[in-house]
Amino acid sequence: MNCQKTIGKEVTTSGISLHLGSDSCLTFKPAPPDSGVVFVRVDIPGSPRIMASIHNTIGGVVRRTSLGRQEVVIHTIEHVMAALAGLGIDNIIIESNSPEPPAADGSALVFAEMLRDAGLVKQDAPKQEIVLSEPISVRDGNRELTIVPDNCCRATYLFKSDIPVKITQSASLEISEASFLTELAPARTFCFEREVEALKAQGLGKGGSSENVVMIGDDGTPDHPPRLEDEMARHKILDLIGDLYLLGSIPKGRIMAIRSGHDLNAKLIQKISESDQKTRRMRNTKTMEPLNTNDIKRILPHRYPFLLLDRVIEFEEGKMAVGIKNVTVNEEFFQGHFPQEPIMPGMLQIEALAQLAGILLFRNKKEDDSLGFFRSVEKVKFRRTVVPGDQLRLEVNVLRMRGNIAKFSGQAFVDGEVVSEAEFTLAI
């Protein structure tokens, strides 16, 4: 069995952050199996947590990858994520006292060496693997990013710049712990001198210096000797690996990238995430056959017109569940909400999440007459409308179960985009 991994002990690093220029401190802590990668903003009351997931990425952010949940954000996480991916660390808690990690030397090497020295600990749980069934590709003008199914992970990157001088670099390597540490992790962030003023005008690069950025002059000459051959192309692969790890695992395949950056990387992982019907997610945890409507009716007391769950496709006892609600124009609530522009009421989306939570509570209590009632609903966000023809992907996670009280977090997605989310407590 290919086991999940965490680290053996707590380790800390600090320094100035790249874009925000803040004094930043990161503390990495071991985490139990199936926890995933979780950032914790300890500088904010309540120490809110952000799961490192494609569903929490913030769109429209330039020159970096950022996560956000409600009003809490963490920016420029790609080098930290790349270090975790390169070492195969599945479960870890990362406490941060600022909205951006330290820049270190502009590479992932500092993070990777520190985590390796903390000790890599195998856990009694199998790794999640993503196995693609067909090629997936995204394109934007002369930029392209493609992944083709294979038995290993190999990345090839073509870097081209035409202004102010022509620069072409290419790199290709199979991704492994050994190759990552020697051939990718040392590759540093770079910036063209002509870009500096534009970045500063956007409020970026406040912490940039010769210690964490390689500056490329107008003649194409870097202000630091290269650490690696084709270092710019290798750094782009480093960023790509960090971004892909937001899927929870690096998909097995041959990755071919031409001039791609964080925005195109995000489109690729979004497309992979949306292709669940074509992508087998081999969790190798406690698996189950999907529950259909009749199965659900044997567990829940809800009936027409208030049964808002069509299928349960993933389930892990006491931890999480994933369900589907197909929204059709025949839904009874569309008669009044609203006849001229049918929109699914937001609180019915929360009700659907609660019904999925009910599957977690009552699946193994089919002869029990217990019912679950809302005790509280908090941190509710409605991010876009849900209309006829949409398919809601519902995800709930257990936050706490004590006696006859259970607290959950839930998110509803349409086409990979969060449409609503909440935390709610049910009384049994």
The catalytic site residues sit at: 262, 337
Residue 333 contacts by C-beta under 8 Å, 6 or more apart in sequence?
305, 344, 345, 348
> Which two structure tokens, joined as six digits, stand for 72?
């809490």
DSSP tag of 290 = P
Altogether, the residues listed in the chain come to a count of 428
Q: How far is CA 414 from CA 120, 306, 390, in A?
A: 37, 20, 7
Asked if residue 322 lies in contact with residue 369, where contact means CB atoms within 8 angstroms, the answer is: no
Give the angle subtended at the CA of 293 by the CAs of 290 and 295, to the nearest 5°. Answer: 65
Asked if residue 395 lies in contact with residue 320, where contact means CB atoms within 8 angstroms, the answer is: yes
Residue 400 contacts by C-beta under 8 Å, 6 or more apart in sequence?
406, 407
Asked if residue 97 lies in contact with residue 31, where contact means CB atoms within 8 angstroms, the answer is: no
Burial class (CB in 10 A: 0-12, 13-18, 19+), 67: buried
For strands 320-326 and 405-414, give the pairing: unpaired
Asked if residue 212 lies in contact with residue 79, where contact means CB atoms within 8 angstroms, the answer is: no
